[in-house]
Amino acid sequence: MSSLSIALMGAALIVLCFICYFIFRFVRSTLQHWFNPFKSGKRYRCKVIRVYDGDTITVQRFNLRRSTTSIRMAYIDAPELKQSYGNESRETLQKLVLGRWVKVNVVQKDKYGRCVSEISYRGKNINELMIKQGAAWAYADYIRPTQRKTALLALQNDAKQKKRGLWKSGRNQSPQDYRKKTA
């Protein structure tokens, strides 16, 4: 064999390696797209299979894997289960979404791996509805768009004035303060 044919074989091997690498990347990204449960900034239709508390649900997506994931509802903070009005908040959310097909708009992922999302059912924003019914606080620390924050705080103030849900009693402790005291 001449040195020229060895060089050609080496070059062909390098080209073959590059082709294999790009095929592998394409197949990997395609499979991730099909099997990856949820991505930030995307919307999905999902069935609510569990309501953990007033601001956390588990949903199942209709894809190849039937992916399930925990969803933390964006912009709201519901009472903890051991806190006053905690069970009522969970029951309110169960009545609104449990067993139903909802639209999940993933805002981001939190430090626990949950998808922080806005939930809607039949055109109604469930996050807003929870605040409006007095079943949750507007989580002002985490609401970024100023207009959005203003609108949600207005819903909360309306619920307070009309003494809906958790606002019926005069002694309310925010879940954030409750978690600090019990930690």
Residues 150-166: pLDDT tens digits? 999 999 999 999 999 99
Residues forming beta bridges with residue 125, ordered by sequence position: 120
pLDDT digits (tens, 9 = 90+) for 18-63: 898 989 888 876 666 566 567 788 899 999 999 999 999 999 987 7
The CATH number of 43-169 is 2.40.50.90
Percent pLDDT > 70 in the chain is 91
Binning pLDDT at 50, 70 and 90, where does residue 98 land?
A: very high
Look up the pTM and report it: 0.78
Question: What gap in Å lies between CA 92 and CA 130, rounded to an integer?
Answer: 8
Annotated active-site residue 72? The verdict is yes
Q: Tell me what pLDDT residue 77 has.
A: 94
β-strand pairing of 43-53 with 76-77: unpaired
Residue 95 has pLDDT above 70, yes or no: yes
Q: Measure CA 154 to chain center.
A: 23
Which candidate in 72, 90, 118, 128 is catalytic?
Answer: 72
What average pLDDT score do residues 98-113 get?
A: 91
The alpha carbon of residue 80 and the mean position of all alpha carbons in its chain are separated, in whole angstroms, by 18
From 43, 50, 61, 80, the catalytic residue: 80
Digit-coded pLDDT (tens) for 123-133: 999 999 999 99
- Give me the catalytic one of 90, 114, 118, 128: 114
Domain borders along the chain are: 43-169
- Is 114 part of the annotated catalytic residue set? yes
Q: Region 97-110: what's the mean pLDDT?
A: 94
Q: What is the pLDDT of residue 4?
A: 65
CA gap 82, 85 in Å, rounded: 8
